[in-house]
Amino acid sequence: MATTHPTEQLPDVEKLVAELVAQMRPQVTPQSCFIGIHTGGVWLAERLHAELGIEASLGTIDVSFYRDDFGSRGLHKDLHRSNLPFEVEGRNIVVVDDVLYTGRTIRAALNELFDYGRPARVDLAVLVDRGGRELPITANFVATKLSLAPAQNLQLERADDGKLSLRLAEAK
């Protein structure tokens, strides 16, 4: 896993996906359950789910109502319904997100996940770990680490043909 800096070119997402698949292959089974966090995490989970040959249906979570800053941020304009088409109780779950930053989105996802039942195990897979953690959360599978200024955001984007790419933006 390489560490890059914001002055360098952003990494190729296809190579990062291949890195995640290589890391995850020995650890997950076809019976593992994948849950993508809307929106970039779902796109990444779809790719990992297919490339790893996961048999269980892919789940999705929208953490909007579980965020600790819901009162100050309000609802995201693209609100999605969470969909977990499998029994959570006693299952090995892999939560997938595109960028790990403060850890608050993952905390929200775990809170929502446990409303559905108690998994046997929960792993976290992310494309990019950008540091800056505010909560004691770490990913089990990380394609790359990227150093960014606090005023910068990293966004996963999906083209009409399904190709994924990263874009650097100024924080709002």
Does an H or E element contain 15, and which?
helix 13-24
pLDDT in tens, the chain (172 residues): 655 555 468 999 999 999 999 999 999 999 999 999 999 999 999 999 999 999 999 999 999 888 676 555 555 566 788 999 999 999 999 999 999 999 999 999 999 999 999 999 999 999 999 999 999 999 999 999 999 998 999 999 999 999 999 999 988 7
Name the pTM for this structure.
Answer: 0.90
Residues 151, 26: Cα–Cα separation, whole Å: 37
Residues 12, 34: Cα–Cα separation, whole Å: 23
35: tokens are 């849950």
CATH 3.40.50.2020 for domain 3-170, yes or no, is yes
- For residue 57, count other CB atoms closer than 10 A to its CB: 12
The CA angle 21-23-24, to the nearest 5 degrees, is 65
* Predicted local confidence at residue 9, as pLDDT: 87
Q: Which of 12, 15, 39, 7 is nearest to 148 (CA)?
A: 7
Does an H or E element contain 42, and which?
helix 40-51
Where are the chain's structural domains? 3-170
* Predicted local confidence at residue 144, as pLDDT: 98
Report the interhelical angle of 40-51 vs 13-24 (nearest 10°). Answer: 60
